[in-house]
């Protein structure tokens, strides 16, 4: 027997309900899976296609909403799981992770609500990817207009380039507003309920939301996704005043362009802001705890990037040191930075600068989520999850119907990773098992030129090869040999492929050069789909394009001359 469930307040809400048809009727098709919604008063056990007039549907909505209200109000025992639900899916946090999950949930016919305690779009849209890329778009153009050598080579003459700080800041702010509106409108248009306030888990499948200490509304959901993201991490001893000692949250507003700024941390944020500040005329000093700059990147690519992005610019650096104490500028005194040796903890230098940007990583935002109500203990603030993003409790057991995606689980702090994890969870709660291959998720640093990567770095690949007993090979292609790059007078760049010569598996690809962030997707898609070098090397690329760099890379790889089966395992002939 098939159960049919109905919830018509959301036209896309249940897999059992087809879209509203031309005749103003809702057609209801049987589902194999009972949905257990509280709106299921009209649940029918019969099989076949059902049709219901709109007036009847309206009555059903009103009475089911009343029932839902009663149900929520009557929830007193937080520890026990409810047996019927207000929603199929409730997502806590409307950043890019939550948004991506909500959109996919609607596509899958799930009745979905998203709880947001601040503004829609989260870090990426309001304080991250979006405004930072607007600033980087300006820095890229400034850099080009200031590069006489480059312009002369193209036969161009431009009089001195300048900028209006407020105009640049407005560009970043306006872009964030535009994208935030787009995101909000897309949720509304698809019928996702936006519930305003801080979400707290009360018990299994139960969440309260509202202004803390004021209104508490309770909703129940068959499945819950935590997508509460992260905030800047500020190490002990550093005093952030938001004016002269700042995090990326403040820097993105571009309230001033300091003459000399120290950037603590040379990861993604540090590098991207060094690109912005130096293009706008600042001098930059990096303070990096590890022994080299850009420690997270493939070392060879990092070295080349350093030669282009650091050495020729007004940037100096201190590596192997911690910024142990930073005091904001006050009473005419500059910002003071005390540094200690990262290993010995002995005092090193003291710097006096106009401003300091703290770019030392991000901390998960999981406080107040009520994880203690479901026996979950965070690890350094991160919510522990398995490979399917299912939350793991303090006893190492999976918490049923609870998932955590995005920065809050710490697996990969990238916008598209958060969204991909959300989509993966929705696939699972819709009945299809799905495990996201994180090694196929690309990353990019949007400096000029850009750095991009997917999969393993060379040291990681060598380590894996040694443990698992296989060989690795490296292939490289230079931007200097690419017609399009040379036409743009942008020959500085390298693409690097790390692969298994025995079976053609792609282990990692790293690119430094013009539009590297766009170029990486051929490699990341190949890894995601399991495409091997012996196949992708026959793919055809338009000429003259930068994509021919990857063509060159795959063609220059030497995969052992053996016959491969359809599963790409070598077969005897």
Ligand X SMILES: Cc1cc2nc3c(=O)[nH]c(=O)nc-3n(C[C@H](O)[C@H](O)[C@H](O)COP(=O)(O)OP(=O)(O)OC[C@H]3O[C@@H](n4cnc5c(N)ncnc54)[C@H](O)[C@@H]3O)c2cc1C
Ligand Y SMILES: NC(=O)c1ccc[n+]([C@@H]2O[C@H](COP(=O)([O-])OP(=O)(O)OC[C@H]3O[C@@H](n4cnc5c(N)ncnc54)[C@H](O)[C@@H]3O)[C@@H](O)[C@H]2O)c1
Residues assigned a catalytic role: 543
Q: 426-465 burial string, b = 16+ CB within 10 Å, else e?
A: bbbbbeeeeebeeebbbbbbbbbbbbbbbbbbbeebeeeb
Please tell me whether 414 is known to bind a ligand.
yes
Among ligand X, ligand Y, none, what does residue 135 contact (CB within 5–8 Å per kind)?
none
- For residue 164, the minimal CB distance to ligand Y (Å) is 25
Look at residue 296 and give the partner it binds from ligand Y, ligand X, none, a contact being a CB closer than 5 to 8 Å depending on partner kind.
ligand Y
Nearest CB to ligand X, comparing residues 96 and 287:
96
Q: How far is the CB of 446 from ligand Y (least distance, A)?
A: 5
Q: Does residue 410 interact with ligand Y by CB under 6 A? A: no
The verdict on whether residue 288 carries a ligand-binding annotation is yes
Omega before 544 within 30 of 0, i.e. cis:
yes
The span from the CA of 564 to the CA of 62, in Å, is 62
The annotation status of 291 as a binding-site residue, yes or no, is: no
Closest CB 107 distance from ligand X, rounded Å: 18
The interface with ligand Y within residues 443-472 (CB under 6 A) comprises 443-446
Q: Quick one: which H or E segment has residue 150? A: helix 148-153
Rg (CA), the chain: 27
Residues 389 to 428 in contact with ligand X, rule: CB under 6 A: 406-408, 413-416, 418
Q: Are 141 and 279 in contact (CB under 8 A)?
A: no
Those residues whose C-beta lies under 8 Å from the C-beta of residue 155, and which sit 6 or more positions away, are: none
> What does the DSSP assignment read for 524-568?
HHHHHHT--HHHHTT----TT-TTHHHHHHHHH----S--B-TTS
* Residue choice 71, 218, 269, 337 for contact with ligand X (CB under 6 A): 269
d(CA 453, CA 259): 32
Binding mask 306-345 for ligand Y (x = CB under 6 A): ----------------xx----------------------
Q: Tell me which of ligand Y, ligand X, none is bound by residue 203, counting a contact when its beta carbon lies within the kind-specific cut-off of 5 to 8 angstroms.
A: none
Residue 198: contacted member of ligand X, ligand Y, none (CB under 5 to 8 Å, by partner type): ligand X
Least Cα distance to 92 among 367, 440, 492, 461 occurs for: 367
Stretch touching ligand Y by CB under 6 A, among 15-23, 27-35, 106-114, 355-363: 355-363
Give the Cα separation of 417 and 17 in Å (integer): 30
Smallest distance from the beta carbon of 343 to ligand X, in angstroms?
28
The structure tokens listed for 425 are 């969870």
> 468: annotated binding-site residue?
no
The interface partner of residue 265, options being ligand Y, ligand X, none and the CB cut-off 5 to 8 Å by kind, is: ligand Y
User: In this structure, what are the phi and psi dihedrals at residue 264, rounded to the nearest 5 degrees?
Assistant: -90, 115
Q: 449 preceded by cis ω (within 30°)?
A: yes
Residue 268 or 499 having the CB closest to ligand X? 268
Which token pair is 491? 């020959």
Angstrom CA distances, 556 to 184, 478, 525, 533, 550, stand at 46, 12, 19, 10, 10
Could you tell which of ligand X, ligand Y, none binds residue 92, using a CB distance below 5 to 8 A set by kind?
A: ligand X
Q: Does 362 bind ligand Y (CB under 6 A)?
A: yes
Q: Which residues pair with 535 in a beta bridge?
A: none
Q: Return the residue of 179, 414, 418, 456 that touches ligand Y, per CB under 6 A.
A: 414
Site for ligand X in 127-156 (CB under 6 A): 127-129, 132
By rule CB under 6 A, what string of x and - marks binding of each residue 273-302 to ligand Y? Answer: --------------xxxx----xx------
Nearest distance from C-beta of residue 413 to ligand Y, angstroms: 4
Q: How far apart are CA 91 and CA 331, in angstroms?
A: 47
**Token pair of 296, please?**
């997270």
Q: How far is the CB of 265 from ligand Y (least distance, A)?
A: 3
* Residue 14 to residue 27: CA distance in whole angstroms: 12
CB atoms within 10 A of CB 376: 21
Does the protein bind ligand X through residue 94 (CB under 6 A)?
Answer: yes
Q: How far apart, in whole angstroms, are the C-alpha atoms of residue 57 and residue 212? A: 35
Which stretch, 86-94, 102-110, 323-331, 342-350, contacts ligand X (CB under 6 A)?
A: 86-94
265/288 Cα distance (integer angstroms): 5
Q: Minimal distance in Å, beta carbon 285 to ligand Y? A: 12
Taking CB under 6 A as the criterion, the residue among 39, 85, 260, 268 binding ligand Y is 268
Q: What are phi and psi of 92, to 5 degrees?
A: -100, 110
- Per-residue x/- track, 440-459, ligand X (CB under 6 A): ------x-------------
Q: What is the largest CA-CA distance in the chain?
A: 81
Q: Is 133 annotated as a binding residue?
A: yes
Q: What secondary structure does DSSP assign to 58-74, as a single string?
A: HHHHHHHHHHHHHHHHH
Interaction partner, residue 369 (ligand Y, ligand X, none; CB < 5-8 Å by kind) = ligand X
Please give the residue ranges that form the binding site for ligand X (CB under 6 A): 92-98, 115-118, 122-124, 127-129, 132, 198-199, 227-230, 248, 269, 365, 368-369, 406-408, 413-416, 418, 446
Please give the residue ranges that form the binding site for ligand Y (CB under 6 A): 235, 264-270, 272, 287-290, 295-296, 322-323, 359-362, 413-414, 443-446
Q: Which residue ranges make up the annotated binding site for NAD(+)?
A: 265-272, 288, 361
Q: Which residue ranges make up the annotated binding site for FAD?
A: 133, 199, 228-230, 407, 413-416
């Amino acid at each position: 027997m098939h159960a049919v469930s109905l919830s018509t307040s959301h036209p896309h809400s249940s897999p059992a309900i087809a879209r509203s048809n031309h005749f103003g009727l809702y057609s209801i098709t049987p589902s194999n899976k009972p949905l257990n919604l509280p709106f299921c008063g009209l649940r029918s056990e019969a099989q076949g296609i059902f049709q219901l007039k709109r007036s009847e549907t309206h009555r059903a909505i009103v009475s089911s909403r009343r029932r839902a209200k009663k149900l929520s109000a009557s929830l007193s025992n937080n520890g026990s799981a409810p047996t019927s639900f207000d929603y199929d899916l409730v997502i806590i946090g409307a950043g890019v992770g939550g948004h991506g999950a909500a959109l996919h949930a609607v596509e899958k016919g799930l009745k979905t609500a998203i709880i947001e305690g601040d503004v829609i779009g989260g870090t990426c849209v309001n304080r991250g990817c979006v405004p930072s890329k607007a600033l980087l778009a300006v820095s890229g153009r400034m850099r080009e207009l200031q590069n006489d050598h480059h312009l002369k080579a193209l036969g161009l003459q431009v009089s001195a380039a300048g900028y209006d700080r407020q105009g640049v800041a407005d560009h970043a702010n306006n872009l964030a507003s535009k994208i935030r509106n787009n995101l909000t409108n897309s949720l509304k248009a698809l019928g996702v309920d936006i519930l305003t306030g801080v979400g707290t888990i009360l018990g299994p499948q139960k969440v309260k939301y509202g202004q803390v200490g004021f209104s508490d509304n309770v909703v129940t959901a068959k499945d819950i996704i935590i997508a509460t993201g992260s905030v800047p991490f500020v190490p002990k001893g550093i005093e952030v005043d938001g004016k002269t000692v700042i995090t990326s949250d403040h820097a993105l507003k571009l309230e001033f362009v300091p003459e000399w700024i120290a950037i603590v941390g040379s990861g993604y944020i540090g590098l991207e802001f060094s690109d912005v500040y130096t293009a706008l005329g600042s001098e930059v000093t990096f303070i990096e705890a590890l022994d080299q700059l850009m420690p997270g990147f493939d070392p060879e690519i990092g070295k080349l990037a350093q030669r282009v992005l650091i050495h020729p610019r007004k940037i100096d650096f201190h590596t192997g040191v911690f910024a142990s104490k930073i005091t904001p500028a006050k009473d005419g005194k500059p910002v003071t930075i005390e540094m200690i040796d990262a290993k010995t903890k002995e005092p090193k230098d003291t710097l006096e600068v106009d401003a300091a940007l703290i770019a030392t990583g991000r901390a998960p935002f999981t406080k107040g989520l009520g994880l203690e109500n479901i026996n979950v203990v965070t690890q350094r603030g991160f919510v522990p999850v398995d490979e399917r993003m299912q939350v793991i409790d303090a006893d190492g057991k999976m918490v049923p119907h609870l998932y955590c995606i995005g920065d809050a689980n710490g697996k990969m702090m990238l916008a598209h990773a958060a969204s991909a994890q959300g989509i993966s969870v929705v696939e699972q709660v819709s009945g299809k098992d799905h495990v996201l291959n994180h090694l196929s998720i690309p990353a990019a640093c949007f400096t000029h030129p850009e750095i991009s990567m997917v999969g393993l770095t060379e040291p990681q690949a060598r380590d894996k090869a040694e443990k698992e007993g296989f060989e690795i090979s490296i292939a490289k292609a230079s931007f200097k040999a690419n017609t399009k790059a040379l036409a743009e007078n942008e020959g500085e760049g390298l693409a690097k492929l790390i692969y298994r010569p025995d079976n053609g598996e792609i282990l990692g690809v790293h690119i430094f050069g013009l539009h590297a962030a766009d170029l990486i997707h051929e490699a990341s898609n190949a890894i995601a789909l399991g495409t091997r070098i012996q196949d992708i090397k026959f793919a055809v690329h338009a000429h003259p394009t930068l994509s021919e760099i990857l063509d060159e890379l795959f063609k220059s790889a030497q995969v052992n001359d053996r016959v491969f089966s359809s599963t790409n395992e070598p077969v005897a002939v």
